Copies of this chain bind each other. A is one copy, B any other.
Amino acid sequence: MRAIHIVTTRLSSSFRRPILYLDFIVSCLAPPRQFSIPRRLICAATKANGGGRSGSIVAPLVVNEEFQKIDVNPPKGTRDFPPEDMRLRNWLFNHFKEVSRLYGFEEVDFPVLETEALFIRKAGEEIRDQLYCFEDRGNRRVALRPELTPSLARLVIQKGKSVSLPLKWFAVGQCWRYERMTRGRRREHYQWNMDIIGVPQVTAEAELISSIVTFFKRIGITASDVGFKVSSRKVLQELLKKYGVPEDLFGRVCIIIDKIEKIPIDEIKKELGFTGISEDAIEQLLQVLSVKSLGDLEDILGGAGEAIADLKQLFSLAEKFGYSEWIQFDASVVRGLAYYTGIVFEGFDRKGKLRAICGGGRYDRLLSTYGGDDIPACGFGFGDAVIVELLKEKDLLPELGQEVENIVCALDKDLQGAAATVATALRDKGQTVDLVLESKPLKWVFKRAARVNARRLVLVGKTEWEDGSVSVKVLSSGEQFQVKLSDLE
């Protein structure tokens, strides 16, 4: 017997667009859940499927139909991409991809649906609480990926010794999180990731930040618009060691501290208290985290530790890469994912209006949490939402219209086949063609030509076609001429 499918529907309180109807079927008898099913429908449905095979009178299998309200909008928190939005998405993604290739990175991808276990870590991350998880028909716990890094780690382990390190991989993939939608945030976004697997040195982080800077420059964003706050988780690690806090609290403390600009400081202190860190240590910790100069940090930690050495090297490399003015030290940056172990960074808008634009860091010990051998690694995630807000704010969104070289139109219904021949000839030469598929008045054709930004209008008329010719009108200049089809370039 088939599974029960009762169509339930979100009835959003903020409906503005029309609610439409979808006919539906009740595949087998089941108690109604969210709305009541008319009795006659249930009766009909009982016969409709499953047991119906014994009868052979006319139409026992025609089930009664009922209309159920359905929304023409995409599910809450998700997006359609009509052509105008798709053009912007392609523009953005092409920049992601071109920059990645400029840096010698190879593209990869993973399933959008993964085993839930892949994303479950112990540190109480926001991303974990927002996991878009389900049980599938085979009773397996699965989740729409909230991020790409765990899948990447899984693939690296799977590939094992068959790949030569370092790997430089990038991906642009959709990620999901189930949020309460309170802050106008969506439940899906696309994320550009670049990861370097197999390089323990800070040169890798420096290279990653360089690629993001290159991306910003390409789309018109400058160092006066955005910057990178940089720190190292080793700062926190060295501090916790100093205060005798157990090492296994590290990830959890990072997650708490990441909320420092989002929740009141007293809450932060309380949460840190719950982990068992003494009040005194918490006060000192918070003081260190407010440090914005590498020199001051060195005074506190001493010059011997890895934290200072890594950060110094990163700032020195930034100079050589040519992006010093883009980055600054900020001890409060720890990032919200549990797996970072070294340098962490986030891109921010200097006006302070938006959430982090991107973020990343080193995660040298992620692979062993999945049972693999650890390989030094670092990477970043760059979403498609905040950057578009920033571009809008700076008036930097590109104007992207449809572009077609030719619009081809028959002047007579009998010539539609001829127009098809003309379109084929042009396409064979690599020319894009919008072929008019119906008999339409010339006025309509000119309007369409303008809408699709056609460069030329190619008209197939009776007299010219008898001669193997067509009329061509260059739409920018109004220039018009007759040409043999074989000569049309």
- Residues of A near any B CB (own CB < 8 A): 2, 5-10, 17, 20-25, 34, 49, 52-53, 55-63, 65, 67-68, 70-75, 78-83, 86-87, 89-90, 101-104, 106-118, 120-122, 124, 129, 131-142, 144, 151, 154-155, 157-159, 164, 166, 168-169, 174, 176, 178, 188, 196, 199-201, 203-204, 206-207, 210, 214, 246, 248-249, 252, 273-276, 316-317, 319-322, 369-372, 402, 404, 407, 416-418, 420-421, 423-424, 427, 430-435, 437-438, 447-448, 451-452
Complex interface: chain B residues within 8 A of A74 (CB): 110-111, 114, 151, 154
Contact A140 B203 (CB under 8 A): no
Complex interface: chain B residues within 8 A of A169 (CB): 83
Q: A52: which of B9, B17, B103, B274 is its contact (CB, 8 Å)? A: B274
Contact A320 B59 (CB under 8 A): no
Given A103-B435, A141-B7, A196-B437; A108-B132 close (CB under 8 Å): no
A416 to B201, CA, bound (A): 11
A420 to B82, CA, bound (A): 41
A5 to B369, CA, bound (A): 18
Contact B136 A369 (CB under 8 A): no
Main secondary structure of the interface of A (DSSP, over half): mixed
Contact A70 B416 (CB under 8 A): no
Q: A70: which of B25, B115, B137, B203 is its contact (CB, 8 Å)? A: B115
Contact B111 A79 (CB under 8 A): yes
Complex interface: chain B residues within 8 A of A199 (CB): 437-438
Complex interface: chain B residues within 8 A of A168 (CB): 434
Q: A20: which of B5, B58, B372 is its contact (CB, 8 Å)? A: B372
Contact A142 B109 (CB under 8 A): no
Contact A103 B176 (CB under 8 A): no
Residue of B whose beta carbon sits closest to that of A97: B90
Contact B154 A60 (CB under 8 A): no
Contact A22 B116 (CB under 8 A): no
**A and B contact pairs by CB, cutoff 8 A, 6 listed:** A2-B129, A70-B115, A75-B114, A75-B142, A78-B111, A104-B433
Contact A174 B370 (CB under 8 A): no
A259 to B24, CA, bound (A): 23
Complex interface: chain B residues within 8 A of A65 (CB): 122
Complex interface: chain B residues within 8 A of A73 (CB): 158
A421 to B317, CA, bound (A): 9
Given A81-B108, A166-B437; A370-B155 close (CB under 8 Å): no
Whole-angstrom distance from the CB of A52 to the nearest CB of chain B? 7
Contact A432 B101 (CB under 8 A): yes
Whole-angstrom distance from the CB of A63 to the nearest CB of chain B? 6
Given A79-B111, A178-B137; A122-B63 close (CB under 8 Å): yes
Complex interface: chain B residues within 8 A of A196 (CB): 437
Given A111-B78, A117-B22; A62-B417 close (CB under 8 Å): no
Contact B120 A246 (CB under 8 A): no
Q: A188: which of B111, B430, B433, B452 is its contact (CB, 8 Å)? A: B111
Contact B83 A451 (CB under 8 A): no
A206 to B62, CA, bound (A): 34
